[in-house]
A and B are shown apart, each in its own frame.
Chain A
């Protein structure tokens, strides 16, 4: 009798566990379904860039990719080190799209990020922005806020490694010569209501968050198709303006 009761209560308990498992599974499944609904369509003609960012590739490529990123953000670091090499090789170097990087330093949570933007901007004076960009992201854990309060010694090492004239780079860094340019890049992001990094603008789509190569390529293809369509059927307003 007692055993029977115990078996029944055990069965009931398993049912409760099963119920929780089903509810938990459903909640997670529902949350996962919402993940891709945050891409926003924007009107590119209405919002030409007011800051220059840093360009890679052919400025006249049919599609423009804009990235708003923070040097100290791990999600940006993951994109820069894992996905971006493929993007450069297969999309930018093949002329499918140009790539423009805009600093979006989240100074509220990352104390060394502005210094990193500064280091990269000073490297761009000597034509080596992207080389510095890559090293900064590759070595993010060693110069981040949690690791050091003196990131310059690391950036100086990278400057040396990529063959910069370190003394003029260092002067530029100490003078914060490009602070205005960096803040203009961030302001450009704010103007576009960017709230997180990385955020990409590809053609007429704004995509928040780190994305895979395949997703990025799909957005580039869709933007290229849109451009081709616009060329085939130019709207009368644009024609009249020329």
Chain B
């Protein structure tokens, strides 16, 4: 499988993870509650919102952009530019996910499995996009 295909695949999985968390956050799936369960603690903490939007919604948007870029790259649309953009976005995604994981571990003191899955996906996406970019720059 070519790196770009893998990026599209991982991004699609990420879309659904983030969609689940977003729907949960806005109360469409389940209801917004506070209890001692970890995902509830994380998703109802003050860190679950960033610039007025749920963090999960930012994730959803990011995964969609990565998916679109990967599909465009697969179709041969500006392959070098999309590879650069994907590497930059996933790099930013990794930093943001690392910050969120730090908050979960050391500030909120609760770990949400779906958030960890998302962070892992983002890391895999970054590594794959780095390979893709290298291949692109070498003219592969």
Contact = CB atoms under 8 A, between A and B. Distances in A.
Nearest to A69: B34
Contacts of B74: 10
A75 B46 contact: no
B16 A144 contact: no
Interface of B: 5, 8-9, 12-13, 15-16, 19-20, 23, 27-36, 40-41, 44-48, 74, 107-110
Given A24-B19, A31-B29, 8 more contacts: A20-B12, A24-B15, A32-B23, A35-B31, A74-B45, A109-B41, A109-B109, A210-B31
Interface string A146-165: 11000000000000000000
Interface residues of A, number: 36
Contacts of A74: 32, 34, 44-46, 48
B33 A28 contact: no
A209 B33 contact: yes
Contacts of B23: 28, 32
A139 B16 CA distance: 34
Contact of A109 (B19, B27, B32, B34): B34
Contact of A31 (B20, B34, B47): B20
Contacts of A16: 9
B57 to A, nearest CB: 15
Contact of A35 (B13, B30, B41, B107): B30
A209 B12 contact: no
A108 B36 contact: yes
27 contacts: A10-B74, A16-B9, A17-B9, A20-B9, A24-B15, A24-B19, A25-B16, A28-B20, A32-B23, A32-B28, A74-B32, A74-B44, A74-B45, A74-B46, A75-B33, A75-B34, A78-B32, A106-B35, A106-B36, A109-B34, A110-B34, A141-B46, A146-B47, A196-B33, A208-B31, A208-B33, A209-B27
Contacts of A98: none
Contacts of B108: 146
Given A28-B20, A75-B44, A17 B12 contact: yes
A198 B40 CA distance: 12
A218 interface: no
Task: Please name the 8 residue pairs, one residue from A and one from B, whose CB atoms are nearest each other, closest first.
Answer: A209-B31, A73-B34, A24-B16, A196-B35, A196-B33, A75-B32, A74-B44, A209-B33
Contacts of A196: 33-35, 40
A195 interface: yes
A25 B23 CA distance: 12
A27 B16 contact: yes
Q: SS class of chain B's interface: helix, strand, loop or mixed?
A: helix
Contact of B33 (A27, A108, A141, A210): A210
Contacts of B44: 73-75
Contacts, number: 91
B45 A146 contact: yes
Interface of A: 10, 13, 16-17, 20-21, 24-25, 27-28, 31-32, 35, 70, 73-76, 78, 106, 108-110, 141, 144, 146-147, 195-199, 208-211
A208 B31 CA distance: 8
A17 B36 CA distance: 36
B108 to A, nearest CB: 8
Given A17-B9, A27-B16, A141-B46, A32 B31 contact: no
A35 B33 contact: no
Contacts of B109: 109
Nearest to B17: A24
A21 B12 contact: yes
